Amino acid sequence: MPRLSADCRHMVSFTLNGAPVSGEAEPRMLLSDFLRYVVGATGTHVGCEHGLCGACTVEIDGQPGRACLTLAVQVRGAQIRTVEGLAPAPDRLSVLQECFREHHGLQCGFCTPGILVTLDALLRDNPAASEPEIREALAGHLCRCTGYVSIMRAALAAQQRLGKKTDA
Amino acid sequence: MDVTADEPRPWLGRSLPRVEDAALLIGRGRYIDDLGVPPGTLHAAILRSPHGHAEIVSIDPTRARALPGVTAVLVGSDVQAHSASLLVGVKAPIECWPIATDRVRYVGEPVAVVAARDRYVAEDALDLIEVAYRPLPAVIDPRAALAPDAPVLHPGLEGNLASDRVFRYGDPERAFADAAHRVAIEVDYPRSACTPIETYGVVAEYDPGLDAYDVLANFQGPFSIHAVIARALKVPGNRLRLRTPPDSGGSFGVKQGVFPYIVLIALAARATGRPVKWIEDRLEHLAASTCATNRFTRLEAAVAADGRITALTWDQIEDCGAHLRAPEPATLYRMHGNMTGAYDIRNVSIRNRVVLTNKMPTGLNRGFGGPQVYFPLERLMQRIAHELGLDPLDVIRRNLVPRGAFPYRTASGALLDSGDYAAAMESALLQGGVAELIARRDAARRDGRLYGIGYAAVVEPSVSNMGYITTVLTAAERRKAGPKNGAQSTATIALDPVGSVTVHVASVPQGQGHRTVLAQVVADVLGLKPAEVRVVTDVDTAKDGWSIASGNYSSRFAPAVTGAAHLAAMRLRERLAHIAAAQLNVPAVDVVFDGGRVQARRNRDNALSFARVAAASHWAPGTLPSEADTAIRETVFWTPPELTAPNDADEINSSLCHGFIFDICAVEIDRVTAEVRIDRYVSMHDCGRMLHPGMVAGQVNGGFAHALGAALLEEHAYGPDGSLLTGTLADYLIPTAMEVPEPLILHHETPSPLTPLGAKGVGEGNCMSTPVCIANAVADALGVADVSLPLLPARLAQQVHGPEKAPRGKTPVRPAAKEAASERQLFGEGEASVDAPATTIWAMLLDPNALMAVVPGAHAIEKVSDTCFTAEITLGIGPVKGRYRATMELSDLDPPRALTLTGSADGALGFGRGTGQVTLREEAPGRTVIGYRYQAAIGGKVASIGGRLLDGAARVIIGQFFASLARQAGGGGRPAGLWAWLRRLLGFA
Ligand code: FES
Ligand code: FES
């Protein structure tokens, strides 16, 4: 990684949900702040800024990661996927999102973007994930509203439906 | 007053998908930090106290003000110049400012507000504000706060007691005198909070021409607080426009506590002449938002031989923290009508004291006042059974308010509206499989395992009487202040020119699906589909209907707000029926609204489209029948007549509705780790009529998870000096999916006769029933009388294993602490071998420049004397990087063999001081062993940031110091030795 000067802004470009974005950032700017305030992609939420709540989770080059623990300048050239990029079309929900809706997997919805990103990646990379594996992935996220019951239900339903889809 | 029991209700009671979800699932929510702000908006950051209690000797913001990008720095005197103290709810000579004025009283208390170009610059500026504190002794425990020699927080008050009231109902003295038994329990209920994942946010503007404030905040109500804010800002209510964003990321009561920050940020907007925005961060939230009260309670029961309770005596000492912030001491009085829980007990005496301590000020939190009452009450039920040799279920059964007694007036004045507690309980026992659990317990115990079962019976109040808090005043004081009572809820329904329907309520949801349920309620009345009804729930006090009772608290949505919407829809329908009647040529009573059409009851083909009738008042008011008013907009205010003010006997119907909960919990405690595993949890609810079963389940599951956290993990913990020990989410432990089991939820519906739709609140009950139910199960498993929350393995281990034995092996000798053990104490010792003669090292230790060169992160050294110098040090511990001003002094010089190094460091993030004894021993010519032993104390924010990180971090930093000392002195010790030494330092060896 090149040396960056702390008191200058630097150009940051990457691919966000399939489209190129760019903007200027001081080296210390967090990816979460860059997404929200520079790019205007406010779907990614910030609940703690110290890596524990999971609300800010985004996919960085195929891996879920904490946007609040990542600097914007670290993801130059990367492929970033956020909650805004999960639905197949603006007026259609993904299977996972649809299952969250059916099973009341959200209340205030503040934790939801991070949880969707994590589960989306999990169900893609490990379609046969066991219940404890799903639960463990979910354990990287704090939800204060649901008690997790409905989230687990939504995740299991999505897994089943996605499985059927590939079987068919 | 179930007004429409016989009406068809195609939508209500169904678990429809929520209208809220589509936007939230694709990242298109509109939370406060997602909304645009006007150009030129400044961003605020807040400097906060690192001390639990200290005098502010001086504040110098000069350097911060000079930082490019900073527009203003406000300190206490700036705030006092343009505002008044926040109103305090008791008659006592205390003030309550949203920022420290002369002293700080809790860790995290605001000391200065910076407004700058962006948040990064604002936080930079915080580091440049120089504050000198003179630490004062702190008081943390509510009972200790009452001691005559306790440190006093508010000098205006003699001690720390803000209110002391005694109540008496029936004849408790006589009941106690006649009782066969007395059973008592003492409880220290800890602090916790429901910590929404979205933190506080405020955007404020000030219009100097009108002297008016415009504030957007993720405030949740009650809007009685609007009056408190306006008064503090010294403007009439109509010059404080308070708006809420469309979405809010959870609240659970907590976001009521944003209001002191509304005042602060509004004043920053006034000072800068620019809009100012502030989004709280999580560290601020954990230190200085709000939380539930902790409370000491002594509860005693007069009990007959069969377990029947004839009287209760409550002695409650409520700890509201450093300030008595509105609406406190409401936590203590919200349950005042319900101090007998689900039981028929006619004689009660109560003493309520409110004290102030050096902790975060308390406020609304899910369950508000319930957990603190039900924990002692339901623990007592178990103790009565135990002490009298009875089955705990029989003790509960014998005391429940009997079937057929409803509506039942409790001794202290609550009107229990409906229920059949016995039936609900028996059904829970049956469906919950208690017989099987008891068999399981017997089997486990035969195997020597720790298995226990607990129960809890709870009345869940909802829809608070706005007058209950005045029970804290005497009857004479109340007469002087004027009556306070009722609970106005409001709803507006509007018809637009194409006849579509919009509903507006001032209910400020934070995830409870209000829009979905209201669409169902109104669709049923108007014969529409819920999707055709648009619901708006964000509030604008300048334009919307609202009252002091508006907002989202005391579980008032389902019982009260839906009722107001229902009544508004009914009124509008009546007018529309008159309009349609004229065109259909039938009497208005024969007009039916169904399937988007307005029809004649006896000839359904004689019909108009709903939209046509609904638009008529816009397009052709001249053609409306005379008896019909214009049907464009209908606003209803509804307040239940049962919510009267406290009477002269201090009886108060503190809430309108009373649900019932019966919980069963079975736990097993690991004999080795003392971890509590919940084997089964059963929760029976009577919440009246269920409007949306899916959301009811969501509320119960969510409340259960909060309660589980409060029972097993969560506590806002403070050290004796007032330092906060739980300042991050790594220390304040919120349960994850791994910790929360799925409870079995059961229902027994008895509709409330007092609400328009028969519904009662449901969201808070488990926060009242679950902590004590789990505690009862744990007490049963361990066979102990005393259990206290949170039930952490470390705490239970003592009860499982007995007191800890002294560890074996070599451990650092802990010198007797000179200071009273107040801050977090650190100890350590070590050795380093350096390739240099002792005299060289000695010379280095005495040369400030050489010494500071090896202090990690040191710069700007100044020599004060030959043996004393100061420096600035930048250090990072865990997530917290900060700048400290350090002083170092050398003493006990014994050249070239030994010296004592005393140092202290102070910074915005905390403070520390320590002493190290350094010895030099030449083990071979040209090779010296440096030995050191230190003790240090750390307080302030650093101490609250991962206390667990500290010991390790301190070892690493002190290790770095000696490693670089060795490097500077002799080009380093032998690599292998150094490595081994570092490993030892890091605690690996
Ligand atoms: S905001 Fe990133 S983990 Fe909480
Ligand atoms: S839905 Fe509110 S925090 Fe998860």
Among B229, B263, B288, the domain boundary falls at B288
Phi, psi values for residue A50, rounded to 5°: -135, 30
On chain A, the residues whose CB falls within 8 A of the CB of B199 are 47
CA Rg value for chain B: 32
Which among B729, B733, B253, B27 has a CA at the least distance from the CA of A112?
B27
Domain that holds residue A28: 6-85
B767 and B897 co-located in one domain: no
* Between B134 and B808, residue with greater pLDDT: B134
Question: A111 and A148: one domain?
Answer: yes
Residues A79 and A133 in one domain: no
Alpha-carbon torsion, ordered A123, A124, A130, A135, to 10 deg: -40
Query: Among B22, B702, B728, whose Cβ lies nearest the Cβ of A146?
Result: B702
Look at B26 and A86 and tell me if their CB atoms are within 8 Å: yes
Residue B477 lies in a domain: no
Number of domains within chain B: 4
Let me know if residue A39 belongs to a domain: yes
Contact A60, A35 (CB under 8 A): no
8 Å CB contact of B728 and A152 = no
Mean pLDDT for B626-646 is: 91
A80 & A111 share domain: no
pLDDT at B343 over 90: yes
| Residue B604 located in a structural domain | yes
Between these two residues, B852 and A68, which has the higher pLDDT value? A68
Distance (Å) from CA B883 to ligand 2 centroid: 36
Cβ–ligand 1 distance for A78 under 6 Å, the answer no
> Which tokens go with A168?
């068919």
**B390 and B508 share one domain:** no
For residue B821, pLDDT over 70 is answered with no
Whether residue A119 has its Cβ less than 6 Å from ligand 2 = no
The three-state secondary structure class of B661 is strand
B272 and B318 together in one domain = no
DSSP three-state, residue B113: strand
Tell me: do B969 and B938 sit in the same domain.
yes
Contact A138 CB / ligand 2 (< 6 Å): no
- CATH number, domain of A77, equals 3.10.20.30
Residue nearest to atom 4 of ligand 2 (CA): A143
Backbone phi, then psi, for B898, in 5-degree steps?
-155, 150
Within 734-773 of B, beta carbons closer than 8 Å to A belong to 734, 736-738, 740, 742
Kindly determine whether residue B697 and residue A104, on different chains, have CB atoms separated by under 8 Å.
yes
Which residue, among B472, B527, B189, has the nearest Cα to B334 in the 3D structure?
B472
Residue from A46, A103, A104, A110 whose mutation best tests the ligand 2 pocket (most atoms within 8 A of CB): A110
Instruction: With respect to residue A76, please indicate whether it lies within any of the assigned structural domains.
Output: yes
- Return the half-sphere exposure (C-beta side, CA atoms, 13 A cut-off) of residue B86: 25
Give the range of the structural domain holding residue B943, as residue numbers without chain letter. Answer: 825-985
Whether B834 and B970 have beta carbons less than 8 Å apart is answered as yes
Q: Report if residue A110 sits inside a domain.
A: yes
Query: Chain A residue closest to B120 (CA)?
Result: A29
For B425-463, the pLDDT digits (tens) are 999 999 999 999 999 999 999 999 999 999 999 999 999
Confidence of residue B641 (pLDDT cuts 50, 70, 90): very high
Q: Check pLDDT > 70 for residue B978.
A: no
Domain boundary among A85, A104, A128: A85
Determine the Cα–Cα distance for residues B11 and B517; give it in Å rounded to an integer: 9
pLDDT confidence of B889, banded at 50, 70, 90?
confident
**What distance in Å separates the CA atoms of residue A165 and residue B122, rounded to the nearest whole number?**
51
Give a yes or no: residue A72 inside a domain: yes
Task: Give the integer Cα–Cα distance in Å for B900 and B892.
Answer: 6
Cα–Cα distance, B312 to B381 (Å, whole number): 12
Has residue B209 been placed in a domain?
A: yes
Cβ(A106) to ligand 2 under 6 A?
Answer: yes
Instruction: Nearest chain A residue to B510 by CA: give it.
Output: A108
Tell me the CATH number at B52.
3.90.1170.50
At B52-108, the pLDDT tens digits run 999 999 999 999 999 999 999 999 999 999 999 999 988 889 999 999 999 999 999
The three-class DSSP label of residue B358 is coil
pLDDT band, residue B1 (cuts 50/70/90): very low
Average pLDDT, chain B: 91
Q: Are residues B451 and B334 in the same domain?
A: yes
A110 lines ligand 1 (CB under 6 A): no
Q: Where are the beta strands (DSSP E) in B687-818?
A: 744-747
Determine the pLDDT at residue B437.
98
Closest approach atom of ligand 1 to CA B729:
4
DSSP A33-59: HIIIIII--TTS--S-SSSSS-TTEEE
Report if residue B422 sits inside a domain: yes
In a domain, A102, yes or no: yes
Residues B418 and B499 in one domain: no
Query: What are the respective helix, strand and coil percentages of chain A, to the nearest 5?
Result: 40, 15, 40
Whether residue B705 lies within 8 A of chain A, CB to CB, comes out as yes
Cβ count near B824 (within 10 Å): 23
Question: Which segment of B614-628, B856-870, B917-931 scores lowest on mean pLDDT?
Answer: B856-870
Q: Are residues B132 and B161 in the same domain?
A: no
Partner-chain contact B728 A150, CB within 8 Å: no
Tell me if B371 sits within 8 A of B189, measured CB to CB. Answer: yes
pLDDT for the residue B887: 80
Nearest residue CA, atom 3 of ligand 1?
A51
Q: Please check whether residues B391 and B302 belong to one and the same domain.
A: yes
**How close does chain A come to B282, measured CA to CA in Å?**
5
β-strand pairing of B240-243 with B212-217: parallel
A130/B70 Cα distance (integer angstroms) = 53
Q: Quote the percentage of chain B above a pLDDT of 70.
A: 92
In angstroms, the CA B371 to CA B749 distance is: 23
End position of a domain, from candidates A59, A85, A111: A85
Kindly give, in sequence order, each residue whose CB lies less than 8 Å from that of residue B194, ignoring residues fewer than 6 positions away.
A144, B250, B252, B253, B254, B365, B366, B706
Q: What CA–CA distance (Å, rounded) separates B942 from B946?
A: 8
Does residue B371 sit in the same domain as residue B235? no
Tell me the nearest-neighbour CA distance from B145 into chain A, angstroms.
33
Asked whether residue B541 falls in the same domain as residue B664, the answer is: no
**Residue A110 CB less than 6 A away from ligand 2:** yes
Model pTM score:
0.90
Residue A152 lies in a domain: yes
How many Å lie between the centroid of ligand 2 and the Cα of residue B162?
A: 37
From A52, A82, A144, residue closest to B730, measured CB to CB:
A52
Q: Which residue has the tokens 């029961």?
A: B301
**Is the beta carbon of A145 within 6 A of some atom in ligand 1?**
no
A-chain CB neighbours of B282 within 8 Å are: 47-50, 53
Ligand 1 centroid from CA B812, angstroms: 37
**Which of B19, B4, B13 lies closest to B514, judged by CA?**
B19
Flag whether B169 is in a domain: yes
CATH of the domain at A123: 1.10.150.120
Domain membership of residue B563 (yes or no) is yes
Instruction: Residue B698: list chain A partners with CB under 8 A.
Output: 104, 107, 145-147, 150
Regarding whether A129 and A62 lie in a shared domain, the answer is no
Lowest-confidence range among B5-9, B329-333, B466-470?
A: B5-9
**A106 and A163 fall within a common domain:** yes
Interface test with B, best of A50, A100, A133, A144 (most B CBs within 10 A): A144
pLDDT at B119: 97
Which residues of chain A make contact with B738, given a CB cutoff of 8 A?
Answer: 135-136, 139
Peptide bond into A88 cis (omega under 30): no
B7 in any annotated domain: no
Domain count, chain A: 2
Residue B542 sits in a domain whose CATH number is 3.30.365.10
In a domain, A1, yes or no: no
Average pLDDT, chain A: 95
Residues 813-852 of B with CB under 8 A from A: none
Find out whether A107 and A146 touch, Cβ atoms under 8 Å.
yes
Taking alpha carbons only, the member of B551, B564, B765, B521 closest to residue B658 is B765
Residues 713-732 of B with CB under 8 A from A: 728-730
Kindly report the nearest CA distance between residue A164 and chain B, in angstroms.
23
pLDDT tens-place string over residues B744-785: 999 999 999 999 999 999 999 999 999 999 999 999 999 999
Specify if B141 maps to a domain.
Answer: no
Position B823 confidence tier, pLDDT thresholds 50, 70, 90: low
Comparing B547 with B879, the larger pLDDT belongs to B547
For the cut 60, the answer to whether the pLDDT of residue B400 exceeds it is yes
Structure tokens at B538: 């964000």
For chains A and B, count residue pairs whose Cβ atoms are closer than 8 Å.
169
- For ligand 1, say whether the CB of A96 is within 6 Å of any of its atoms: no
Q: What pLDDT does residue B817 have?
A: 40
Tell me the pairing of strands B533-536 and B501-505: parallel
Same structural domain, B326 and B439: yes
Residues A75 and A99 in one domain: no
d(CA B771, CA B325): 26
Domain boundary among A51, A85, A119: A85
Q: Is residue A133 in a domain?
A: yes
Q: A148: Cβ below 6 Å to ligand 2?
A: no
Q: Is A66 in the pocket of ligand 1 (CB under 6 A)?
A: yes
Which residues in chain A have Cβ-Cβ distances shorter than 8 Å to B705? 144, 146-148
Per DSSP, the three-state class of B89 is: coil
Residues A68, A30 share a domain: yes
Decide whether any atom of ligand 1 lies within 6 Å of the A52 Cβ: yes
Is the ipTM higher than 0.90? The answer is yes
- Quote the DSSP letter at residue B557: I
Q: What integer pLDDT is reported at residue B857 of this predicted model?
A: 74
CA-CA distance, B114 to B397, in Å (whole number)? 59
> B357: which residues sit within 8 A by CB, 6+ positions away?
B139, B140, B141, B142, B145, B153, B160, B319, B321, B322
Cα B718 to Cα B790: distance, rounded to the nearest angstrom = 14
Residue B349: which residues within 8 A CB-CB, separation 6 or more? B166, B167, B168, B169, B172, B173, B311, B312, B313, B314
> Domain end: B638, B664, B687, which one?
B638
Cβ pair A157, A151 in contact under 8 A: no
> Do residues A144 and A101 share a domain?
yes
The domain boundary, picked from B257, B288, B319, lies at B288
Residue A9, phi then psi, degrees to nearest 5: -90, 145
Asked if the C-beta of B69 comes within 8 angstroms of chain A's C-beta atoms, the answer is: no
A54 chain-B contacts, CB cut-off 8 A:
none
Q: What pLDDT was estimated at residue B944?
A: 62
Cβ distance A152 to B737 less than 8 Å, yes or no, reads yes
On the question of pLDDT at B3 being above 50, the answer is: no
Q: Is there a single domain that holds both residue B323 and residue B207?
A: no
Q: Give the tokens for residue B629.
A: 């008013």
Which segments within B516-645 are labelled E, that is strand? Answer: 533-536, 591-594, 597-600, 607-609, 633-638
Taking the CA of residue B511 as reference, the ligand 2 atom at the shortest distance is 2
What string of DSSP letters covers B313-354?
Answer: EEEEEEE-TTS--TTTTHHHHTTGGGTTTTB---EEEEEEEE
The arithmetic mean of pLDDT across residues B236-251, rounded, is 98
